[in-house]
Amino acid sequence: MTLLKKAINHKEHKGHKEKDEGIVRDCPKTSTKKERILRRILKIFVLFVSFVVVSPFFRGVIHGKKLPIVIFSCIFSLLVLLGCRASPDTLGRVLDAGVLRVGMDASFPPFEYVDGAGNLVGFDVDMAWEMARRMGDRLPDDREMAVQFVANLPYDGLYDALTAQRVDVVVSALYVDDARRATHAFSAPYFDAGQVLVAAGGVTGTDDLAGRTLAVEWGSEGDVTARAWERRIGDLTILPAQTAAEALAWAASGQADAALVDHLSAWGATGAGSGLRVVGEPVTSVPYAIAARIEDGRLIRYLNELLAEMEADGTLEALRVRWFR
């Protein structure tokens, strides 16, 4: 539990003292080091143009009918500078400002929600804080990174917030939507909410379902998949339940040989002493990932490094245990 406490209790640090600090309505844009440098370059450019106008040498160039070339060169240089200024590197700005702006729809427990005391909590909230802590550890001056949550976004408005640059990333149990890959970048998945097979014993995978009873949540993706199996296997009996929890209870009691449910429900039912376990390979895949603008590939690659670290050292597993069981 030491690793778990270290991973999820960043709210106790001085960067997260106030109870409602993480929930903000909007986030003002900050002036980054790169933008300040570009402004200085623009000032130098203005001085250069002034010199062109008053210099005897350049007056000779102008009288020599080379004025269009000079004007074109000046305009081209200015457009290049303005183009650089209009497309700041988001990762550089985040690290320079020391703030990661995170958008989420705080209405999906246990991933993100507002608890009875008004605190923003959940798996995604703790994961974002842990990622920010590690970002700070990587900075040469060992500064503490802060997280600003824009947590009042509707789910349908998450991508719009990215496009409008209200937030740097979206961390909100967001499934990877292939239709949006042309305009948005996704991190490596940090959770898969697809359907999995859960059993107490006897069943070790889909190949063992012949002659068995399979509990499913009626009307769910698992129900649809099980009906297809029933047509293929022939002697598979489908037992529809009202909820995934009820299907899992039937598998635990022996009323069903196995249950086909979403991975989040399976996590909550397969803890120590439950007698249930996930068997075989995942049946379907619904990956959750962090989203950013398509221009922010460098930021996504950076976050992928952090996610890989957190998976390797057990931090993500500890967060799953805390929030899903």
Give per-residue pLDDT as tens, 148-179.
999 999 999 999 999 999 999 999 999 999 99
pLDDT above 90: residue 12 = no
Tell me which of 217 and 272 has the higher pLDDT: 217
Task: Give the pLDDT confidence of 286-297 residue by residue, as tens digits.
Answer: 999 999 999 999
Q: How far is CA 296 from the centre of its chain?
A: 13
pTM: 0.75
**3-class DSSP assignment, residue 259:** strand
pLDDT at 243 over 90: yes
DSSP state of 117: T
CB atoms inside a 10 Å sphere around CB 116? 5
The number of residues making up the chain comes to 325
pLDDT in tens, 43-66: 666 556 555 555 555 555 555 555
- Considering only 22-36, 56-70, 185-199, 209-223, which range has the smallest mean pLDDT? 22-36
What's the CA gap between 136 and 120, in Å, rounded? 22
User: Residue by residue, what is the 3-state secondary structure of 271-288?
Assistant: CCCCCCEEECCCCCCCEE
Nearest Cα to Cα of residue 148 among 213, 104, 192: 104
Q: Where are the alpha helices (DSSP H) in the chain?
A: 2-8, 33-54, 56-61, 67-86, 90-97, 123-138, 158-163, 221-233, 244-253, 263-269, 297-312, 315-324
Mean pLDDT of 93-103: 96
State how far the alpha carbon of 105 is from the alpha carbons of 23, 158, 221, in Å.
11, 8, 23
Residue 3 has pLDDT above 60, yes or no: no
